[in-house]
Amino acid sequence: MSDDASVAITTEFSGGLEILFGNQKKYSLSVPANDEFGAPANVAFLVRYLCDKVMKDPRKELFVLDDTVRPGILVLINEADWELEGEAKYELQKNDHIMFVSTLHGG
Amino acid sequence: MPPTPCALCHTNRALILRPKDHSKLCKTCFITVFETEIHHTITTNALFARGEKIAIGASGGKDSTVLASVLKTLNERYDYGLDLILLSIDEGIKGYRDDSLETVKRNAEQYGMELTILGYDELYGWTMDQVVEQVGKKGNCTYCGVFRRQALDRGAARLGVKHVVTGHNADDVAETVLMNLLRGDLPRLSRTTSIITSTPSASSDPASNTNIKRSKPLKYAYEKEIVLYAHHKNLDYFSTECIYSPEAFRGSARALIKNLERVRPSAILDVVRSGEDMAKLVPGSDEGCGGTCSSNRPVAEEEEGGCGSAAGRTVGGDMASVEKQLAQNETATNNDLEVEITSPRPSTKNGAVPLSNGKKAKKGITPKKTNKQVMGQCKRCGYLSSQEVCKACVLLEGLNKARPKNKIEVGYDVQELQQRDQGVDGVADAMQQTSIGGE
Ligand SMILES: [Zn+2]
Ligand SMILES: [Zn+2]
């Protein structure tokens, strides 16, 4: 597979998490189809990608902790809990909707 | 992975993995189960009485929004016969509540509920902006926190409502249990695990001394499920900047809870239930409630949050976003506050309350002298207080006499306590601002 192949997905941030992403809730992204090691891009890779390429806020630890999504942030893959979909190992498919919802923010 | 079918209807695709029992449910079944469990909490604890008028402490945040939505649904579905209204507190900080109050106003329309927004100016005669003008930026959080704790009760009393419900969830309670456990403060643990508490009148007229009842219908609801419920029902709620601080004691307790949840999701409810069981073992006092409480339910924390859990937790963070350069001052201030709130103060200064479940305590257990405290009422306003005059009234007196030095006196007292009770750990509590109105 060529390096420039990409997967078109949408991501959404809510529950206050959007504050870390320039106050923008929805992003349409073209994510590389393969991760740094040539394996198919999965959610773990997407999270790294979001941190490096999309996140505006320097406080990465509010999104990622110990190389995974911070506990207390829900990940929904096409509306389903990511635990039902293989969590970080879920491989991105075209047109996937990956949503990150914080439970840590107050009102 | 092939889609997993719902464990209940066996038809729809499962979208939710329930933390408490790992069951996989579809959206429709999840919503029904979530509501039914809260109905169960309400009925088994006899939280409500038919015809009761109930004020929902509404901040526009996820917890109070879900609470309002679920109570409306259940009130209609099971014909509770409740008169539900929304009660919001406006601290009077320019720009700070704008978005959340707009959310609450929309909620009032969406749920067809009457909404009352009471300002600190109406409740205390001072907006926070005016307080800041008077006392300066340093120390103003002390005022905000102290005022907040009484605001919902005072507001309810003003509206003639005797029951206030707040959006405290299982994660909030578990966090508080852990914090009190780590502090060795079992009497407080006992009070904060109670699903119903009561506060002596917050009315300005001590003669109209009706108790304000407080309850937490979402006490056994996971924060995760509250957020998922709001998401799947498309509820309109407002989130503020994250105030999660890695150094904060409460933040650490929160992080611990969330980490435990990831490894063993049932841990949150287990901690809540452990807290309840430990509370039963805490030697209470046989003096009842110091005469202030006729029923057998625990008296509410003097320091209990005034604005719904989420709102309470975010005070500090919001203040920071209002005045970013205040960050350092706030740290200091909130350190003070935390100490003031949680110190197991020796003897007469102690602010704790006798427990209601003393009768269950085994005979062999002798209550510690220091834990026997009588909570009285403020002479001025009738609010629950360990002192003759409650903190809010003391602060108000200072403000009204245009005596800004008052805050310095408070600060001194508090620092002294900090050294005595907190020692090195005081630093860990420095970011405790988040707990000002929390539980
Ligand atoms: Zn189902
Ligand atoms: Zn008072």
CA of A99 vs chain B CAs: smallest distance (Å): 11
Among the listed ranges A71-85, B152-166, B415-429, which one has the minimum average pLDDT value?
B415-429
pLDDT band (50, 70, 90) for residue B289: very low
Residue-level pLDDT at B389: 84
Instruction: Please report the pLDDT score of residue B19 as a whole number.
Output: 93
What stretches of B19-136 adopt beta strand conformation (E)?
24-25, 53-57, 83-90, 114-119
| Stretch B138-153: mean pLDDT | 76
Compare B206 and A59 and report the one with higher pLDDT. A59
Round to whole Å and give the CA distance between B227 and B42. Answer: 20
Cβ distance A103 to B223 less than 8 Å, yes or no, reads yes
Please give the share of chain B, as a percent, with pLDDT higher than 90: 35
Inspect the interface and report whether the beta carbons of B242 and A107 lie closer than 8 Å: no
Does residue B349 surpass a pLDDT of 50?
Answer: no
Chain A residues close to B231, C-beta within 8 Å = 14, 76, 101
pLDDT, residue A74, reads 96
Among the partner-chain residues A70, A90, A103, the one whose CB lies closest to the CB of B224 is A103
Distance CA B30, CA B259 (A): 24
Let me know if A3 is exposed, middle or buried by CB neighbors in 10 A (0-12, 13-18, 19+): exposed
Give the pLDDT confidence of B230-266 residue by residue, as tens digits.
999 999 998 875 443 333 577 788 888 989 998 899 9
Give the pLDDT score at B279. Answer: 85
Answer yes or no: is pLDDT of B318 > 50: no
Which residues have CB under 8 Å from A65's CB, separation 6+? A71
Q: What letter represents residue B434's amino acid? A: T
In the prediction, which pLDDT does A32 show?
Answer: 96
pLDDT at site B69: 97
Whether B62 sits inside 8 A of A15 (CB atoms) is yes
* Mean residue pLDDT across chain B: 72
Q: How many CB atoms lie within 10 A of CB B129?
A: 18
pLDDT at A69: 94
pTM: 0.76
Q: What is the mean pLDDT of residues A80-93?
A: 95
- Stretch B52-80: mean pLDDT, rounded? 96
Q: Is B234 exposed, middle or buried (0-12, 13-18, 19+ CB in 10 A)?
A: exposed
pLDDT of residue A21: 93
Q: Which residues of chain A does B89 touch, with a Cβ-Cβ cutoff of 8 Å?
A: none
Ligand of minimum distance to the alpha carbon of B30: 1
The predicted pLDDT at position A16 comes to 87
What is residue B352's predicted lDDT score, i.e. its pLDDT?
A: 42
pLDDT at B139: 66
Question: pLDDT band for position B284 (50/70/90)?
Answer: low
pLDDT band at B335; cut points 50, 70, 90: very low
Which DSSP symbol is given to A91? B
**What integer is the mean pLDDT of B305-318?**
33
Q: What interface predicted TM-score (ipTM) does this complex get?
A: 0.94
Q: Which of A103-107, B74-78, B183-187, B393-397 has the lowest mean pLDDT?
A: A103-107
Residue B323 has pLDDT above 50, yes or no: no
Cα(A19) to ligand 2 centroid in Å equals 39
What is residue A94's three-state secondary structure? coil
Which tokens in the block code for residue B225?
Answer: 């499920």
Q: Structure tokens of B237? A: 């709620």
Percent of chain B with pLDDT over 70: 64
Q: Which of B304, B332, B278, B323 is nearest to B133 (CA)?
A: B323
Would you call A74 and B16 a contact, using CB atoms and an 8 Å cutoff? Answer: no
Nearest-angstrom CA–CA distance, B431 and B139: 15
In whole angstroms, give the CA distance from residue B136 to residue B274. 43
Please state the rounded mean pLDDT for residues B366-371: 43
Give the mean model confidence (pLDDT) for residues B409-422: 38
pLDDT digits (tens, 9 = 90+) for A9-38: 999 999 989 989 999 999 999 999 999 999
